[in-house]
Amino acid sequence: MNDQDQNLAATINTTQGSYRVVVGRNIIDDLGFELAKTGLKGRAFLVADTIMFPNPTRKAQEALERGGYETHLLALEISEKNKNIETVQVVYEWLADLRVERSDIIVAMGGGVTGDLVGFVAATWLRGVAVVHVPTSLAAMVDSSIGGKTGVNIATGKNLIGAFHQPKLVLQDVAHLESLPAREMSAGWAEAVKHGFILDAQLLDTFERLASQMKALDGEEPVAAIRRSVAIKGEIVSADEFETGDHRVLLNYGHTVGHAIEKVSGYGTYLHGEAVSIGMMVAARIAENLGMIDADLVDRQRRVLESYGLPVKALGLNVDELIDATKSDKKSRNGTIRWVLLEGPGKATTRSDVPDEIVRKAILSVIS
């Protein structure tokens, strides 16, 4: 097995084709080589978050050119506050100026917000061109870069305009995480730890036991944990590509209230992973009040989240505004929220019969 095969975390099988997710340390130089293996031969249009400019972006561009790809670069400052149609229009105009064709490739380099927006651009430009994700935040690596979800925000809610558009390749260089601010890293661990709580008790044990090593990105264990998180998401996406069943919905553990917290507090007040962490605590309280789990597991979840520097409360927010915001949840069916709730360590399910008073009580527990 060569080094590239050792770095393979998952092969995702979808109706739009199969693609590889490659995870390793200092592998950005392999980007052109990995892209060439997909058989794509067009020009490469690299859209990068300005935080990646100039050095990581230059390495990616040089790697693409070594792979034989004519490469063009657009660096943008992208955040939740401008993840909108106006920013999409900026990218559209750049693509139009360069006469981008369906045979070309758009490469998204940055965090989850960049991937969401650039993925949406790729899904809609000429009714769909190939996209490659090079996520540079932990949250994007273990979650948003995999599965083809793209989207932008409007005033009503987050990611309400979007499309499923699967990438042709995902390349994750863990070395990019070494320069991330501590707060960004903590927010990313929320999505990884989530996988342990809902689907893999052994992974949860690893996150609990090796928190200090994980946070320091020390040695091979953090890389292996990221690969395992990627594999978990890959298995679910392959089984439920369009979130039509209940299995992929499990990945939204903590997100119903998490998205509401982001909206009510103002996008950017809480990072996505921070809001999800608080949302996980609400979901755990709901499960406890329904008799699905005991208080010990709720407390265990709190301790694990706090060990990664994550918040477990959002003091001062309004309970009625949060409840109202949850009603825009994209996982709802016939106006009823499908709550993702724990049944035990590494085991979750969905419930649509949660009484309003239990939801209110659980939300109050994290805002007061």
Question: Annotated catalytic sites, by residue?
Answer: 127, 149, 191, 233, 243, 248, 252, 255, 259, 272
- Tokens representing 62 are 């040089």
Question: Do β-strands 130-135 and 169-173 pair in parallel, antiparallel, or remain unpaired?
Answer: parallel
Q: Can you spell out the DSSP letters for 58-84?
A: HHHHHHHHHTT--EEEEEE---GGG-S
CA 313 to chain centre: 21
Amino acid letter, 140: A
φ/ψ region of 168 (left if φ > 0, alpha if ψ in -120 to 50, else beta) reads alpha
What distance, in Å, lies between the first and last C-alpha atoms of the chain? 54
Q: Are 229 and 142 in contact (CB under 8 A)?
A: yes
Residue 340 identity (one-letter amino acid): V
Q: Which helix (H) or strand (E) holds 17?
A: strand 17-24
